[in-house]
Structure 1
Amino acid sequence: MTDYKKEVAQALLDIQAVKLQPNDPFTWASGLKSPIYTDNRKTISFPKVRQLIANGLADLVKEKYPDATVIGGVATAGIPHAAWVAEVLDLPMVYVRSKPKDHGAGKQIEGILSDQDQVVLIDDLISTGGSVLGAVDAVRREGSQVAGVLSIFSYELPAADKNFAAAKTDFAPLTTYSALLDVEKASGQMSDADLDVLQDWRVDPSAWSEKHSN
């Protein structure tokens, strides 16, 4: 059986969709300093990587949400992966915008949903969960059920656990920050001290950012 956590983590590192710089932090759009930068949009340019991801996500759907009737892509990065997963599983697909269109019928969800549907939403990355939980709300407003949320990668931040619990929504990542660090440790290319720095970030990103902003 494929160990998707490690394989996908390794693939993301190989194509530099994920970069780790414990000693030269990135500055996120929020202004926070971080030792990790993720751009999973790169995965669509690598056929073998995107196929690995699609098969892994499809297996997660079958394992965790066997009653799923629709695969939903969260705009924009989740849309292509949702399409490939829907193809693998031979299920209908929809996609969810971050907000309703300001013209035409003003739709936020493209595709067809009914109140009998069990939707699995797919995004590329879970940070705090804010954007994907907005999509969860949109699907529920349509009258459909959200079976759960899947992502390619999760930072495993405590805020995400709190936000998903508050929204009464289940979620599962294909690979995680912990798996990424395991792959890095096994490669022997990063010192234990640097791995400790990376681990400290996940525990409290805001405090880590403040400490490394000086």
Structure 2
Amino acid sequence: MNFATEVAKNLLQIKAIKLSPQKPFTWASGLKSPIYCDNRTLLSYPAIRDLVVEGFIEKAQAFPSFDVVAGVATAGIPHGALLADRLKLPFVYVRAKAKEHGRQNLIEGEIRAGQKVLVVEDLISTGGSSLQAVEALRAEGCTVVGVLAIFSYEFPVATESFKATNCQLETLSNYSVLTQVAIDSAYVSHEDQETLRKWRQDPALWSTQWQN
């Protein structure tokens, strides 16, 4: 079993990721989806938490050297902090928007122009929040070596967005691996495989079939 498969298997087992092609979930955006992912769940499982951190340490070697780890608020914060702790590196996190009080920080923690930063995220969907954090760090004069995440839905729009902003992306596992694990373990049926494939290609269009 390769590492991506092992991660996907564990996320399914603890229900950090749930698949339900026949009774889809409703995302905050209102879209219907056959998958729901909340990787914060794995923080409650020390063995899986350690597995993810070890995976991050290994995957981090795919990037140029860096001297700061930055988590994307909010879900990327604990995973980034765990990685920074293991690597004995400084940690900061990037808010979705600046605070409206105090120093009105967008980036929390000490960051300096010229530093090389690895951004850590829990989940890549469209890539919007991760790339927003990348741009915030670049605006401070930092060099972002790339983004490291636990899981990606592998949306084409995300692939194009990371390419357009010249930002390297690495993930521990992804949607293709997850769906194969789900089929092999009878978590979903073979008939659901095509449904899951169509959703990933065009989530908005897939969602319309569930509208009243």
Q: Would the TM-score normalized by the shorter structure come out above 0.5?
A: yes
The code of the aligned residue for 1:39 comes to D
Is the 1:55–1:88 contact (alpha carbons within 8 Å) kept by the matching residues of 2? no
Cα distance between partner residues in 1 of 2:187 and 2:53: 29
Question: Match of 1:132, SS?
Answer: helix
2:43 matched to 1:47?
no
TM superposition shift of 1:35: 0.4
The code of the aligned residue for 1:150 comes to L
Question: Match of 1:113, SS?
Answer: coil
Question: Match of 2:118, SS?
Answer: strand
Aligned length: 212
2:17 corresponding residue in structure 1: 18
1:133 corresponding residue in structure 2: 131
Deviation by residue 1:18-41 (Cα, 9 ceiling, x = unmatched): 110011111111111110011111
The code of the aligned residue for 1:129 comes to G
Q: Which runs of 5+ in 2 are unaligned?
A: none
1:171 corresponding residue in structure 2: 169
The code of the aligned residue for 2:77 comes to I
4+ residue runs of structure 1 moved beyond 6 angstroms?
Answer: none
Q: TM-score, normalised by structure 1?
A: 0.94
2:60 corresponding residue in structure 1: 61
The correspondence for 1:87, drawn from 85, 88, 112, is: 85
Cα distance between partner residues in 2 of 1:66 and 1:53: 20
1:158 corresponding residue in structure 2: 156
2:174 matched to 1:183?
no
2:205 matched to 1:204?
no
Go from structure 1 to structure 2 and tell me whether the alpha carbon gap of 1:164 and 1:198 turns closer, same or farther (over 3 Å shift). same
Is the 2:64–2:145 contact (alpha carbons within 8 Å) kept by the matching residues of 1? no
TM superposition shift of 1:115: 2.3
Q: Which runs of 5+ in 1 are unaligned?
A: none
The code of the aligned residue for 2:23 comes to D
The code of the aligned residue for 1:191 comes to S
Query: RMSD in angstroms over aligned alpha carbons?
Result: 1.4
Cα distance between partner residues in 1 of 2:52 and 2:119: 15
Cα distance between partner residues in 2 of 1:130 and 1:190: 29
Cα distance between partner residues in 1 of 2:31 and 2:99: 31
Cα distance between partner residues in 2 of 1:46 and 1:203: 32
Cα distance between partner residues in 2 of 1:154 and 1:163: 13
2:8 corresponding residue in structure 1: 9
